Amino acid sequence: MAFTLRIDSEKWHNHLHAVYQSITVASGLPPVPVIKGNGYGLGQALLAAEAMNLGADTIAVGTVFEIESIASVTEGDIIVLEPFDQRDAGASAHWWEISQKYYSGRIIRTIATPEALHQLLDGPGEVRIILEARSSMSRFGFSESELLGALTNEKVRHAMATGRIFVEGLSIHLPLQRSNPDAHAHEVMRWAGLWQAETAVWEGHSPPAPIVWVSHCTNSELALIKASLREVSVRMRVGTQLWLGDRSVLTASATVLAVHPLSEGMKVGYRQRTGPKDSSVVVLSGGTSHGIGLTAPSPSSTIRQKIVSLGTGALDATGRAMSPFTIGGKQRWFVEPPHQHVSMVWLPNSGPLPRIGDQVRTEVRFTTSRFDSVEFI
């Protein structure tokens, strides 16, 4: 009952190296591979190994709960992108457990509020952190005044001077869309200019690192940023562009598990629905546990997209939904919502019926998919 992802090994690895090298040239430093969530559908362990093969000295994970499995198979620093805050009791407890591990010196926390920063000042041991700017993304981060206040705060300075806290730079998480072609570059340069001004005049031990960590910048934007900064280095975090940037080399497929020609009026499935005339039910591997039927909200930014969304909602309401499975060159309708491990689709008997064991191409959203098998071909 395998739901499988097949990867064209040579083309995929060529893509990885091309992206890695192009970012290195544009920014002046190697990128930071992001390995979070479900490992972009490929799995965290596989991506961790590939990051090491690329020569990465730093990787990024999504949450504190993703550290342990990655730390055991990688070297170098690990940035946790989700901001640390002791008020998140569950995460805070896990942070304490991580701090007792032998690899805790490799971990860099993201700090996004003055409160979270001050929570660390009086604790035991040494902590490495990155301060996050409140970019146009407006999700987490210090405002400009909060950032300046943190860098000039006497207790913060004392914690840095005594080696309690090491500030490894400033993080700028940018949106995907741009108001104009150079918007991201200008936003980074504004924050980097502020960071450079503060770090250049720092007095005492353990000054903030002159590094800005950015996301979602093009190579041309990185080159522009690099050319404009003299005392600040740029490190680019990269996930989707690296791992999923060439979708043509990734093929998801379901296995045909059963084919049932139906007599007229026959009811099938959990919900006992009647199918189209002269049709069959095809049972396929791949269900909700694999991410089938799970979709992210649509932005519906254009009139056409809004009309499509309304039409899809009407179909869903009547029990009709298009599946991601393609048989005979066409996507097929679900019989009913996918089950946990399998799905059922309608197929007209006018064409050849698939056989058990056949592979059926499947369109998936990789960040919500889990495969039983990942194969290099």
Single out the residue of 130, 127, 217 nearest to residue 163, CA to CA: 127
What are residue 124's phi and psi, to 5 degrees? Answer: -80, 160
Of 67-81, 244-258, 263-277, which range is least confident? 263-277
| CATH classification code of 31-243 | 3.20.20.10
Is 234's pLDDT higher than 90? yes
Computed over every residue of the chain, the mean pLDDT equals 91
Beta-strand relationship, 250-261 and 267-268 = unpaired
The reported pLDDT for the residue numbered 31 is 98
Question: pLDDT by residue (tens digit) across 30-89?
Answer: 999 999 999 999 999 999 999 999 999 999 999 999 999 899 999 999 999 999 999 999
Name the more confident of 162 and 296. 162
Structure tokens at 279: 């049709």
Mean pLDDT of 299-312: 43
Mean pLDDT of 351-366: 95
Of 114-118, 170-174, 281-285, 313-317, which range is least confident? 313-317
Query: What 3-state class would DSSP assign to 271?
Result: coil
The reported pLDDT for the residue numbered 138 is 93
Is 312's pLDDT higher than 70? no
Beta-strand relationship, 58-61 and 32-33 = unpaired
Q: Does domain 250-376 have CATH number 2.40.160.60?
A: no
The reported pLDDT for the residue numbered 230 is 83
Of 48-62, 86-100, 199-213, 244-258, which range is least confident? 199-213
Q: What's at 346, amino acid-wise?
A: W
Domain with CATH 2.40.37.10 in the chain: 250-376
The reported pLDDT for the residue numbered 316 is 45
Which uninterrupted H or E stretch holds 184?
A: helix 183-200
The reported pLDDT for the residue numbered 295 is 64
Single out the residue of 79, 98, 117 nearest to residue 211, CA to CA: 79
Mean pLDDT of 144-153: 94
Is 124's pLDDT higher than 80? no
- How confident is residue 313, by pLDDT bands cut at 50, 70 and 90? very low
Is 119's pLDDT higher than 50? yes
- How confident is residue 307, by pLDDT bands cut at 50, 70 and 90? very low
Question: pLDDT by residue (tens digit) across 278-304?
Answer: 999 999 999 999 999 876 555 544 554
> How large a percentage of the chain has pLDDT more than 70?
93
Domain with CATH 3.20.20.10 in the chain: 31-243
CA distance 226 to 232: 8
CA distance 4 to 370: 9
